[in-house]
Amino acid sequence: MTRKVIVEMRVPAGFVMDNLMSTEAAALPGLTLDAEYQPIPVSAPADQAATFAAAKQETVLVRGELDETQEAALRSASNVVEIWTDGQIAAFGDCGCQKLETGLGLSPSSNAMGGDLFTTGSMDEQVLPSFSLETASSCPPTDCDAGTAKGTIEDAARFLSCDRLWSKGIRGAGVVIGICDTGVDNTKIPAVIGGWSPNSSYPPGTDPGGHGSMCATDALGMCPEAKIYDIGILKSSGDMTGFLSDAIAAFQWALNQYRINSTPQILSNSWGMFQQSWAPDYVANPNHPFTRKVVEVIDAGIIVTFAAGNCGQVCPSGRCGSDTGPGRSIWGANGHPRVITVGAANIRSEWIGYTSQGPAALDPKKPDFCAISHFKGYTASDNGTSAANPVCAGVIGLLRSHDQALTQDRVKKALQETATNLCGSGWDPHSGYGIINAERAFDKLFFFKDTLVHASWIHGCSVDVELPDQLSTMRRMGFYSLCEGKPNTFNWFHFAIPTPVIVDSQRLRLDSIMLIFATDLDVAVTNVHIWDGNSRLKAYDGLSLSGNHPFERFDVLDVSVRYGICVSVGVRFGSASQPHRIAFVSAGGDFIK
């Protein structure tokens, strides 16, 4: 009997990796090496790191087939640290859940699959509760109907307030999201700019399983200007499965890429293990080399999200077997304390009942929160925690595009603290802290990071127009100005904000500026530029702010003030046969030390 294994070896520090396969690894007893798999460095186990450092040794990974009759001999080899299961991993692509009749019990002849083109299980594989959904659920009302979309991907983006960030020009520019999955079809998703694959038959830009293209679509639905890496962890056989060794190699590729050019900034993972038996030495052991590699990637600066899984107790996937519900459904790195673990809800604020529940095997306080699933996107109903996870990654992409220094711990904390409670007050093992919200997390991250020491406002009647001949009328009325532009024109309006430069012998920093205004329907604010003297601190371009805006905030990431703050507002006046007016009510700035 043979089995697939990952062998962790010790080598001298600075060892030439290219020589390993033909020297020390080739001599390992009982192991048939996979010659196509390049050795991969990995951090030493936490409890052995000091020992390895003192001995000036490093650890590397190879994979192959182990003759189980020689396992003892392999373990006793002086250069072998550990033998790990190279367990199979699979996409959380189809919840496989039972579509229940709420409050009516379950009919064996019901249409149960609630699935899409990613169906992997058959009817008789389902875990079928013998009670009503409302009685069974720990978080009613509960959605187990994965095949019925509750809105569109655009509805999901609005529900999570992504559109509010888009309106400020924050759309994900400069961010690359790595979709670690079955692939991403670049004929359908042109945002793909590269990637990695373990299978030359399916290079980056191809998707034999379809699941990864769904995930990429869902991420871009929240973060439309992001680019995509197709990191084909599940391409090894072309059937939505792979191995932990593939995941290690893929994460190493992402880490190497990040060290070269700081991309990808985010890794989205909608896969995992459905059952503990798939790899017992991985699911509950934080020292498994893949989990250690995940921590390495996070420590380097990449944000990592994982789907919680589809083994929640109310309507679990049939692939979960008996491993369902609290404490038996979030395995391995999916539930590591450092990762972002994402459950699922819909835009009706209903918890999705197959969401895997905490405690996770590696952290009692999982999942972290929920994002949205069950919407029309790449398929008629993008479902599973597989869909929720890239939605969350897309939200994070918006936040990371605004601040490239944003870290895993900061963004997770902000999303937790601004989530909307779903299954209970605070954290609960079903929905975590509730449903995330992009705009509230943005405000939490980027406004008032330090104590506000001064706020300065000026009335709208003080606004200056750059091209007065492009206006039909301009009236200063008490505290505001009402400006009517000529059709098909563009104009700039400027506010000089009273600026406290030095207070108590300390130079202040500008935290943000605020605007209050209202427009007719055919008029829009398209640009907001923030100046300190003749230096432009921040430019928000590509906006489309029409209608009533009682409070719009634009941050500048703590820039020190030297001369004086001016806010320039670009306004487009349309061509419709109706008034083209904008009312400037007020403008202000918040200052911090």
* The pair of three-digit structure tokens given for residue 58, joined into one six-digit string: 């490093």
Q: How many residues does the chain have?
A: 593
- Give the residue, 365 or 23, on which the prediction is more confident: 365
Distance CA 517, CA 460 (A): 9
pLDDT reading at 100 higher than 70: no
Question: CB–CB of 375/260 below 8 Å?
Answer: no
State pLDDT tens for residues 224-235: 999 999 999 999
- Give the residue, 25 or 417, on which the prediction is more confident: 417
b/e burial code for range 507-517 (CB count within 10 A of at least 16 → b): ebbbbbbbbbb
* The pair of three-digit structure tokens given for residue 246, joined into one six-digit string: 């593939």
Give residue 47's pLDDT band: very low, low, confident or very high (50, 70, 90).
confident
Give the CATH number of domain 91-99+147-402+410-446. Answer: 3.40.50.200
pLDDT reading at 138 higher than 90: no
DSSP 585: E
Which of 120-134, 322-336, 425-439, 497-511 is the least confident region? 120-134
Query: What is residue 448's predicted lDDT score, i.e. its pLDDT?
Result: 65
Give residue 83's pLDDT band: very low, low, confident or very high (50, 70, 90).
very high
* The pair of three-digit structure tokens given for residue 11, joined into one six-digit string: 């080598």
Q: Tell which phi-psi region holds residue 69, choosing left (phi > 0), alpha (psi between -120 and 50) or beta.
A: alpha
Least Cα distance to 567 among 512, 519, 503 occurs for 512
Give residue 574's pLDDT band: very low, low, confident or very high (50, 70, 90).
very high
* Type and span of the H or E element at 473: strand 471-477
State pLDDT tens for residues 144-170: 999 999 999 999 999 999 999 998 889
- Mean pLDDT score, 361-377: 98
3-state secondary structure labels for all residues of 531-584: EECCEEEEEECCCCECCEEEEEEEEEEEEECCCCEEEEEEEEECCCCCCCEEEE
Cβ neighbors of 501 (< 8 A, separation 6 or more) are 507, 508, 561, 562, 563, 564
Q: How far is CA 322 from the centre of its chain?
A: 29
Q: How far is CA 285 from CA 247, 361, 399, 422, 568, in A?
A: 16, 8, 32, 30, 55
Do strands 142-143 and 351-352 pair parallel, antiparallel, or not at all (unpaired)? parallel
Least Cα distance to 462 among 448, 477, 472 occurs for 477
Query: Which stretches of 203-356 are assigned E, i.e. beta strand?
Result: 227-231, 241-243, 266-269, 271-272, 303-307, 340-345, 351-352
Percent of the chain with pLDDT over 70: 92
Query: What is residue 115's predicted lDDT score, i.e. its pLDDT?
Result: 33
Q: Where in the chain is the domain with CATH 2.60.120.260?
A: 452-592
Least Cα distance to 90 among 293, 317, 300 occurs for 317
State pLDDT tens for residues 14-46: 877 777 887 878 889 999 999 899 999 999 988
Least Cα distance to 307 among 144, 116, 92, 147 occurs for 92
Query: What is residue 433's predicted lDDT score, i.e. its pLDDT?
Result: 98
What would the DSSP string read from start to end of 491-546?
EEEEEEE----EETTEE-EEEEEEEEEEE-TTEEEEEEEEEETTEEEEEE-S--B-
Q: Where in the chain is the domain with CATH 3.30.70?
A: 2-86
- Give the residue, 584 or 53, on which the prediction is more confident: 584
Query: What is residue 49's predicted lDDT score, i.e. its pLDDT?
Result: 86
Question: CB–CB of 438/575 below 8 Å?
Answer: no
Percent of the chain with pLDDT over 90: 80
- Give the residue, 303 or 238, on which the prediction is more confident: 303
Which neighbouring-strand residues pair with 570? 492, 527
2-86 has which fold? Answer: Alpha-Beta Plaits (3.30.70)
Least Cα distance to 211 among 40, 379, 352 occurs for 379
State pLDDT tens for residues 444-481: 998 866 678 899 999 999 999 999 999 999 999 999 99
Amino acid letter, residue 244: L
State pLDDT tens for residues 506-540: 889 898 999 999 999 999 999 999 999 999 999 99
b/e burial code for range 393-414 (CB count within 10 A of at least 16 → b): bbbbbbbbbbeeebebeebbeb
Least Cα distance to 354 among 312, 322, 298 occurs for 312
Question: CB–CB of 333/361 below 8 Å?
Answer: no
Distance CA 281, CA 291 (A): 11
Query: What is residue 588's predicted lDDT score, i.e. its pLDDT?
Result: 97
* Type and span of the H or E element at 60: strand 57-67
Query: What is residue 304's predicted lDDT score, i.e. its pLDDT?
Result: 98
Least Cα distance to 20 among 3, 5, 8, 2 occurs for 8
Do strands 40-42 and 57-67 pair parallel, antiparallel, or not at all (unpaired)? antiparallel
Distance CA 148, CA 150 (A): 6
Q: How many CB atoms lie within 10 A of CB 188?
A: 12
- Mean pLDDT score, 496-509: 90
Query: Which stretches of 80-226 are assigned E, i.e. beta strand?
Result: 80-85, 88-91, 142-143, 176-180, 192-196
452-592 has which fold? Answer: Jelly Rolls (2.60.120)
- Mean pLDDT score, 287-304: 97
How high is the mean pLDDT of the chain?
90
Query: What is residue 449's predicted lDDT score, i.e. its pLDDT?
Result: 63
State pLDDT tens for residues 315-336: 999 999 999 999 999 999 999 9
pLDDT reading at 108 higher than 70: no
- Give the residue, 294 or 553, on which the prediction is more confident: 294
- Mean pLDDT score, 372-378: 98
